[in-house]
Amino acid sequence: MFEFSCDYTTLLLSAGLFFALFYIMNSKRKRNFPPGPSGLPLVGYVPWASGNLGEKFFKLKEKHGNVISIRIASDDWVVLNDFEVINEAFAKKGHAFSGRPSNELFDMIIGGKGIIMTDYGETYKNLRKFGLTTLRGFGVGKRSMEDNVIEETPYLIDELTSSDVEKNLKLKMNYAVSNIICRVVFGSRFNYDDEGFVELQEILLSFYKDTWEHRLVGLVSLAPFLRHLPVFKKAMKAMNGEINKFIAMLDKIKEEHKASFDENDIRDFIDAFIKEMKEGHEAEAGFTDGYLLHYIRDLFEAGTSTTSSTLVWAMLAFLYHPDCQEKIYAEIEAVIGDSGVPSMKHRDQMPYTCAFIQELSRHRTPLPLGVFHKATEESTLRGYTIPKDTMVWGNIWSVHYDPDTFDNPEEFRPERFLDDGGQFVKSNRVIPFSIGPRHCLGEQLARMEVFIFLTGIVQKLRVLPDPGSALPDFNTGVFNMIYESRDFNVRFEKR
């Protein structure tokens, strides 16, 4: 009994000493580094890394300031908590803060390829230039991007009215938005009941599901060592399986394009990319099969999820604020009419609609923390030293909820963006697509989709609550990188 007690005491003392030493070693901040919470030994702030992290980090601003550090496992990340410092880092010092960190989770899944997670350098610049040119419509397809969105709108409206109560709103919005990507990437759209297309949408939706497994994967992205634990390993395997299935689908389409490629008839994004490959712009420029597949995956993931999420939030906003829907309809009646076709040429004549969309982007920010950045060189922000290779988050949520910029920011009020004459006031403090060299590649397309799909829906349909089910809270959502509303039922009634 005495020997057991001694051994047990020794074990406790040893464990206590280990954690004490570990804590002391990891509590030491780098010289002149921003202040912030250290959290617990081994894991740092990870136990608190749930829910809307943008909102949580914003609350730390009062205690720690506009530039703070967060201990994630054994690394210190920097969070930028207001517009001025984000603008300084990502725009004015974009060359120093436009890198992408080496993250074991993303490296394992995508191998550093694609466009979103490619580090800042010549490869990234080549791929971004190619993407901007192609997405503007030069050399791709026979129709403009706007024509594609306009043509897709009636299909979406028909789908939304295919049943008395719509119970799969996120999926239906995904259909429409994803089909725009399909038109650009594959050269054609798909029927909403096409088996392969439906499978593609289900995979896309699975990436951001609010499930226990996805939360575990999210934690692995913050603390990669967790991937060795059985429960995390199982979640990672499931996620990797979905991504591999997605890549296999894209690879099949890519090979079909290669077999039918004609340099005199560039049909779509894939053909344009293959042309670059055939012209010898290969590995050093990023034009390889691997980069192509993950570039397409990036376009679908980023180009579908955030835009469809914004449209779903808009429908929920109409249910909580029916006056917003009627004001938008009044503008549609005055500017477009019942039989006209909504297009971007109408936008400047519809100030309230523009104000509603901007307020929705502010109030229900789809990417509260944007995408990870990395310091590509040692730099300073607000007097603090930011070492090279430091992970940096721009907290877009804190910009959108800054009470010094927006009066009563928790209130959803589109009128805040109208002047005394009722004209729309564009705000450079509403930055859902981030800013600087790494701002969203598809910003122009996303803005176009939201405006045309939204006005198209309101022109033809009334958005009404389902009396048989309760609505989720409009002021809270589900955060899994993307900030989405909780599921809800809705009715669409023809006007």
- For 191-203, what is the mean pLDDT? 90
pLDDT in tens, 367-392: 999 998 999 999 999 999 999 999 99
Q: How many angstroms separate the CA atoms of 387 and 33, rounded? A: 9
Residue 25 has pLDDT above 60, yes or no: no
Whole-number average pLDDT of the chain: 88
The tokens of 394 are what? Answer: 């721009």
Q: What is the pLDDT of residue 469?
A: 94
Contact 271, 232 (CB under 8 A): no
Considering only CA atoms, give the Rg of the chain: 24
Q: What is the pLDDT of residue 150?
A: 95
**Domains in the chain: boundaries:** 113-367+401-494
Q: How many angstroms separate the CA atoms of 418 and 415, rounded? A: 5
Share of the chain above pLDDT 70, in %: 88
Give the domain 113-367+401-494 fold. Answer: Cytochrome p450 (1.10.630)
Q: What is the pLDDT of residue 38?
A: 78
Q: What is the pLDDT of residue 40?
A: 82
DSSP letters for 431-493:
-TT--STTS-TTHHHHHHHHHHHHHHHHHHEEEEE-TTSPPPPTT--EEESEEEPPP--EEEE
Q: Which is more confident, 272 or 44?
A: 272
Three-class secondary structure assignment of 233-255: HHHHHHHHHHHHHHHHHHHHHHH
Lowest-confidence region among 6-15, 65-74, 177-186, 273-282: 6-15
Q: What is the pLDDT of residue 45?
A: 81
- For 324-340, what is the mean pLDDT? 97
Q: How many angstroms separate the CA atoms of 9 and 259, rounded? A: 71
pLDDT in tens, 389-448: 999 999 999 999 999 999 999 999 999 999 999 999 999 999 999 999 999 988 999 999
- For 51-61, what is the mean pLDDT? 92
CA neighbor of 364 nearest in space, from 427, 434, 325, 313:
313
Q: What is the pLDDT of residue 7?
A: 55
**Per-state percent for the chain, helix, strand, coil, to nearest 5:** 55, 10, 35
- For 95-100, what is the mean pLDDT? 94
Q: Which range in 208-212, 271-275, 286-290, 412-416 is most confidently predicted, on average pLDDT?
A: 412-416
Q: What is the pLDDT of residue 8?
A: 53
Q: Which is more confident, 145 or 357?
A: 357
Residue 2 has pLDDT above 50, yes or no: no
Q: What is the pLDDT of residue 344?
A: 94
- For 61-79, what is the mean pLDDT? 91
Question: Whose structure tokens read 């290779």?
Answer: 389
Confidence of residue 139 (pLDDT cuts 50, 70, 90): very low
User: Does an H or E element contain 494, and which?
Assistant: strand 490-494
Lowest-confidence region among 209-213, 289-293, 385-389: 209-213
Q: What is the pLDDT of residue 21?
A: 45
Q: What is the pLDDT of residue 243?
A: 81
Q: Which is more confident, 225 or 7?
A: 225
3-class DSSP state of 79: strand
The tokens of 398 are what? Answer: 């804190």
Lowest-confidence region among 45-54, 75-84, 203-212, 249-258: 203-212
Specify the pTM. 0.89
Contact 435, 86 (CB under 8 A): yes
Q: Which is more confident, 4 or 184?
A: 184
| DSSP secondary structure letter of residue 76 | E
Confidence of residue 29 (pLDDT cuts 50, 70, 90): low
pLDDT in tens, 218-252: 777 777 777 778 887 888 787 777 888 888 999 99
Query: ∠138-144-145 over CA atoms, to 5°?
Result: 100
Confidence of residue 1 (pLDDT cuts 50, 70, 90): very low
Confidence of residue 203 (pLDDT cuts 50, 70, 90): confident
Q: What is the pLDDT of residue 439?
A: 93
Contact 389, 116 (CB under 8 A): no
